[in-house]
Amino acid sequence: MRPVLLLLLLISTFFNNGYACLNGEIKELKDGTGVYEDKPGNVPYGHMFYSDETFQKALKRFDSLYKTTKDLDYLSDQGLLLILLKRYQEAINLYLELERIKPNRYSTASNLGTAYELIGQNENALKWIQKAVAINPRSHNHSEWIHVKILEAKIKGEQFYNTAFLLNTDFGSDLLPNSTLKKIQLTKLLNALYYQLNERVSFVKPKEKIIAQLLFDLGNVAFLLGNLDDAVTDYELAKKYGFSGQLIESRIKEASRLHKLPAEGLKKVVKTRVKPDYTTAIIAVAAAVILLVILNIKKQKVKN
């Protein structure tokens, strides 16, 4: 029965593989010092940072702890605190020294990329974010590819501030958004967009064109997944960051209207806008066939 049990375990693992956002998080440093909290949900309101006073005290404490222990995590956390205190050049100098001491740490490359971007050095930012992705492609909820595209767009110019370049997809210009992506792909994209936007709106205040575009895109993804309340909120945030035009107004109006439909009616509308996904059905059928083959083989062995 072992092959059968293994197969059932694999099937169970597949069907229970979730793609939920890591929301409502509390970020802590090495010694347990709190940095921020996030609101639950999939709308990127940004981090709720703790006070500068907390960060200043932690900065002094970590300096002492690093000198005592030589633990590089304390040094890295000092760099993060410097970024949060908007002391970007000091953070850059610290992380460059950390890179010299111990090269190829993910947190060093990632935070250097962030710090360089915050002072407007997008070429340097791109170099370090690309290095961070090379070190750990799965970081930040598999979303750093969007960070790379954002930096590339900034370097290339405003004509690249669009969905096709930033996300390698499109949601159309109809009254309702549409997509060639499957539902599971849209869910992954929503998670990635949420992560990136939640970071960006924490540091960049309105108005900002790339954030505005990506918030509009997040609203479209939420719309296509049937999360209409989130879609409306995302669209309103996009407007706050500078996105404007008849299309966004129409989609806000339609999302609000469709939200009043019964669940089944809404499901039918959304279903017509998303590419059908037969993956689950195909895998289920394949698993059933394999299971039957295994059982048949075992039956033949018993007869012999």
pLDDT of the residue at 257: 93
> Where do the structural domains in the chain lie, given as residue ranges?
25-136, 157-273, 277-304
Coil, strand or helix: which one is 110? helix
Its pTM stands at 0.81
Taking only Cα atoms into account, the Rg of the chain, rounded to an integer number of angstroms, comes to: 24
Q: How far, in Å, CA of 266 to CA of 244, rounded?
A: 26
pLDDT of the residue at 259: 83
Please give the C-alpha separations between residue 214 and each of 114, 150, 201, in angstroms, as whole numbers.
Answer: 18, 10, 11
DSSP per-residue string spanning 252-266: HHHHHHHTTS-HHHH
Q: What is the pLDDT of residues 257-271, one digit of tens each?
A: 998 776 655 555 555
pLDDT of the residue at 304: 58
Say if residues 123 and 173 touch (Cβ distance below 8 Å). Answer: no
Mean pLDDT for all residues in the chain = 86
pLDDT of the residue at 294: 75
pLDDT beyond 50 at 24? no
201 Cβ contact partners less than 8 Å away, ≥ 6 residues apart: 44, 45, 46, 211, 237, 241
Please give the C-alpha separations between residue 70 and each of 64, 75, 98, 102, in angstroms, as whole numbers.
Answer: 10, 8, 11, 12
Q: How far, in Å, CA of 174 to CA of 85, rounded?
A: 44
- Give the mean model confidence (pLDDT) for residues 224-231: 96
pLDDT of the residue at 23: 33
pLDDT of the residue at 48: 95
* CA atoms 205, 208, 211, 213: torsion sign: positive
Chain centroid offset of residue 53 CA: 29
250 Cβ contact partners less than 8 Å away, ≥ 6 residues apart: 175
- Give the mean model confidence (pLDDT) for residues 53-73: 96
- Give the mean model confidence (pLDDT) for residues 246-259: 95
CATH node for 25-136: 1.25.40.10
